[in-house]
């Protein structure tokens, strides 16, 4: 076997691996909250709102990688209450555009605010854009129970633009829809 032949085999092998799809850390990216939704949480774990997290897997030449299974994606969530957040697969693998969707959910109350979501595909940690997961909660004072104090806090925001009480992520305005949602979680 000549050196040239071995080199050719190596080049072919590397091209095959690249063709199978090694994501580029700096070109693949996360898109958060398609549909404009964030994550609403309740101490009872039944906040119910959800947030899509879309990961787009691209090679260094920006061509999409199709067929990466959901089990090859590993998420890290950082920020207050992040331990309550779970991320599960919505799609089974990346599609023809390199896209795959996941969903964030919460097992309990977390303080409202922003959490940072990072993702690793296989062993490749994406460096381009960590995602921001916006959260709000019915337990506005963070005591672990939705009480009259929380109702008072909510009432103070009613009719205003306040994303922390805009429970349907409807553009920031706290309206009767949000009151209805708050009422469903009162006492939790």
Residue 154 C-beta: closest distance to Ca ion, Å: 10
Tell me which of 106, 139, 169, 188 binds Ca ion, using CB under 5 A.
139
- According to the binding rule CB under 5 A, does residue 178 interact with Ca ion? no
Instruction: Report CA dihedral (121, 124, 125, 127) to the nearest 10 degrees.
Output: -110
Residue 141 C-beta: closest distance to Ca ion, Å: 4
- Stretch in the footprint of Ca ion (CB under 5 A) among 33-41, 108-116, 120-128, 131-139: 131-139
Residue 181 C-beta: closest distance to Ca ion, Å: 16
State how far the Cα of 79 lies from the Cα of 81, in Å rounded to an integer. 6
- According to the binding rule CB under 5 A, does residue 164 interact with Ca ion? no
- State the maximum Cα–Cα separation within the chain, in Å, rounded to a whole number: 81
- Stretch in the footprint of Ca ion (CB under 5 A) among 15-23, 67-75, 105-113, 140-148: 140-148
- According to the binding rule CB under 5 A, does residue 156 interact with Ca ion? no
- According to the binding rule CB under 5 A, does residue 141 interact with Ca ion? yes
Q: Where are the beta strands (DSSP E) in the chain?
A: 29-32, 39-41, 51-56, 73-78, 85-89, 99-106, 113-121, 124-125, 131-137
Residue 40 C-beta: closest distance to Ca ion, Å: 15
- Among 67, 47, 71, 70, smallest CA distance to 59 is for 67
């Amino acid at each position: 076997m000549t050196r040239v032949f071995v080199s050719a085999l190596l080049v072919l092998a590397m091209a095959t691996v690249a063709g199978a799809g090694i994501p580029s850390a700096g070109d693949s990216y996360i898109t958060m909250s398609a549909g404009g939704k964030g994550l609403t949480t309740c101490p009872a774990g039944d906040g119910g709102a959800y947030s899509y997290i879309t990961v787009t897997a691209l090679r260094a030449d920006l061509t999409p990688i199709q067929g990466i299974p959901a089990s090859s994606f590993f998420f890290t969530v950082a920020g207050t209450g992040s331990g309550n957040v779970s991320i599960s697969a919505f799609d089974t693998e990346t599609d023809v555009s390199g896209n795959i969707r996941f969903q964030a959910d919460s097992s309990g109350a977390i303080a409202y605010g922003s959490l940072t979501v990072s993702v690793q595909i296989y062993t490749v940690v994406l460096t381009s854009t960590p995602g921001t997961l916006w959260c709000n909660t019915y337990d506005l004072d963070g005591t672990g129970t939705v009480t009259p104090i929380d109702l008072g806090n909510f009432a103070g925001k009613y009719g205003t633009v306040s994303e922390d009480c805009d429970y349907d992520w409807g553009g920031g305005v706290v309206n009767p829809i949000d009151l209805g949602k708050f009422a469903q979680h009162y006492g939790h």
